[in-house]
Amino acid sequence: MAKNTNTQLETADNYREIAEQLIKKYPKAFEHIDINKILFLRDVEKTPKKFACVRKVSYPYDFFTEHKFIMTFYENNMGPLTLAQTHMVVLHELLHINYDFNKLVKHDVEDFSVIVDKYNSNWTHQPDLPDVLEDNTIFGNDNLNRDDVDADY
């Protein structure tokens, strides 16, 4: 595990593994995702008002890395979540990456409608949240319409 002691950032293989599982489970929804082009990090120091964020790697940093996106998970906020909620956060962050894998997508509501329609907008407060890796109904037979989430960021 790489660690920068100045900023308390660490590589986050556990979140990468969850992303890999979600991509495998929902191949049509995430066929555009190149997992090797996403750097997964955990921040063990900051406590912003969010669980995670995804950023596009741009100039001049794209000169130094092959990564196209960086996903940062704020461990102080992620720690209390259930496994199902953790899976949902990773799913949420993956949905921010557009189908062309070249920019970020804004929320279509205060969250993504595909999540809100199935799990409500307060899923972060549901300890009995169904696990998206176990529940086969979020995308119905894996038929996600990417046009519904691919608005410009």
| Residues 44-70 pLDDT 10s | 998 888 999 999 999 999 899 999 999
Mean pLDDT of the chain: 87
Phi, psi of 2 (to 5 degrees): -75, 140
The amino acid sitting at 104 is L
Would you state the CATH architecture of domain 3-141? Answer: 2-Layer Sandwich (3.30)
**For residue 108, pLDDT beyond 90:** no
Q: How far apart are CA 113 and CA 121, in angstroms?
A: 9
- pTM for this predicted structure: 0.76
